[in-house]
A and B are shown apart, each in its own frame.
Chain A
């Protein structure tokens, strides 16, 4: 089991560029989510999915899109990158809802927007 994997590990973008952060899990987890982590701010939920074909917004969804075409993959798209999106992004998954089941985090993607 690879667990939760994320690519790339590091990325530098210019303002206005778009990109997709990849997340995959091989644990057959139904629930997947994306968080961003900023210094002194903890982890804030961006988007989440309770299963293939179902996504919903979290606390800070603006500027990000997600889709869930398969159980395994949950990509996060930045449509037009802004310096305010400089952050460390973590993908997480759990067998069911994270308030009932342990959430497993990926290794993170460190994104810098210039």
Chain B
């Protein structure tokens, strides 16, 4: 089945700086890569996703890049703000057969924005 590795587990950045979270996946058949944000005590919410037919996608201060050859994808947050503090999860999906269907999640990155 699919295996997703996420780094770092904790990331502390100064307000206004950029943050980058990286994920690698194992199954080359995966073709959908969403990112979820989870605030303390809340449910995960989708913030951005990318499919394997594109290399980069942006939404205001958030961007995701995908390198299918190397099987890794990254979340970039620019001009970080206090409300960006949360746990971020990457996921990979689209594996046809073999292992569980649906999404495989990374273990999460706790992003801390220092004032």
Contacts and interface: CB of A to CB of B under 8 A. Distances in A.
Chain A interface secondary structure, helix, strand, loop or mixed? loop
A59 B100 contact: yes
Given A90-B43, A99-B93, 12 more contacts: A35-B105, A45-B103, A58-B100, A97-B102, A98-B93, A98-B103, A99-B94, A99-B103, A105-B44, A105-B45, A106-B43, A107-B42
Q: Which of A44, A45, A57, A103 has the most CB of B within 10 A?
A: A103
A56 B32 CA distance: 21
Interface of B: 1, 6, 9, 30-32, 34, 42-46, 49, 89, 91, 93-95, 99-108
A42 B36 CA distance: 11
A59 B95 CA distance: 14
Interface of A: 33, 35, 40-45, 48, 56-59, 90, 97-100, 102-103, 105-108
B101 A56 contact: yes
